Copies of this chain bind each other. A is one copy, B any other.
């Protein structure tokens, strides 16, 4: 019998929620028009308009990178600048996608705590960017990652503060919601409150990391942007002909609050781990554990010890580990990780 891995590498290492696969099975009847012309994709539009309490447009897309890059390409001119945290996924981990889709669009890092964009720093960056000067990349959009790439969650006020700065200068607010469910679960607010009501114009709506299989989505709150996005998506080869199988997954994902239940499970595992290691000597949690990720500093010996124990995780620095919990992270996983940390810190 294969031993289950003690897996904390990424939420994308996790299983799909069975409900999404059942939805695929259920969608596999009769024929349907391709490229989003099917009934399920039409239903998805109204379902999300209900969910977000507004008339929105939803575009299922294969990956979060496609969602981010295409949402930004539709928002920014080729001579535009997109502001983001230096920790932002679009900046660190998407292999020039934003620049490629945007025809050269430049990413400009803005400091802030725990992977957040600080609104004062954003204001300063925009006002000193040289708006109207042709030498300069023109301020076009700001990218917020929710939950952040450090495992923190923007409060509604924090989102609103960034959005106000952005909108005052005519920028589009894009939220990379790869872990939007984890953030909503944490905030205990509605999807509308955490998005357009706080100023978000376009949202990368994550599914994959939270029990999905092969689809994420773009949610557009400003309908005038939606036409262009459709063409950008098609030009990018990001429109499935059998779209209904993507739409079916997303419908199942938001049915009966499944997405929030899954996210709560992942968040709870992270919270439990944090609670059990925060007072351990030799352990420093460097960012608030508000979603499903922990960033933890430990000695090199401890990190090596964890690896010897078979704990799977990524190093983010010589002494920095990232642990990611999933909807299906078990009590045993938590216990194994905590036990290993406690054992190796005591030894060193």
Contact = CB atoms under 8 A, between A and B. Distances in A.
Given A9-B33, A10-B34, A31-B15, A79 B235 contact: yes
A235 to B, nearest CB: 5
Interface string A49-79: 0000000000001111111111000000111
Contacts of A69: 237
Interface stretch (A20-28, A167-175, A259-267, A292-300): A20-28
A91 to B, nearest CB: 9
Interface residues of A, number: 82
A135 B34 CA distance: 12
A209 interface: yes
Given A99-B106, A104-B96, A242 B230 contact: no
A146 interface: no
A326 to B, nearest CB: 8
A69 B79 CA distance: 14
A234 B62 contact: no
Contacts of A67: 237
Interface in A256-300: none
Nearest to A69: B237
Contact of A13 (B34, B62, B214, B240): B34
Contacts of A98: 104
Contacts of A24: 16, 21, 24, 213
A113 interface: no
B63 A214 contact: no
B2 A30 contact: yes
Given A78-B96, A103-B103, A208-B241, A29 B15 contact: yes
A343 interface: no
A118 B103 CA distance: 30
A134 B96 contact: no
Interface string A206-217: 001100111100
A324 to B, nearest CB: 11
Contacts of A228: 77
Given A13-B32, A30-B15, A237-B236, A137 B96 contact: yes
A104 B93 contact: no
A95 interface: yes
B209 A66 contact: no
Contacts of A30: 2, 4-5, 15
A12 B137 CA distance: 21
Contacts of A202: none
Contact of A238 (B10, B66, B106): B66
Given A94-B135, A96-B137, 18 more contacts: A4-B30, A18-B28, A62-B240, A63-B239, A64-B241, A65-B237, A69-B237, A79-B231, A79-B232, A96-B104, A99-B99, A99-B106, A100-B104, A134-B234, A134-B239, A135-B234, A214-B246, A236-B237
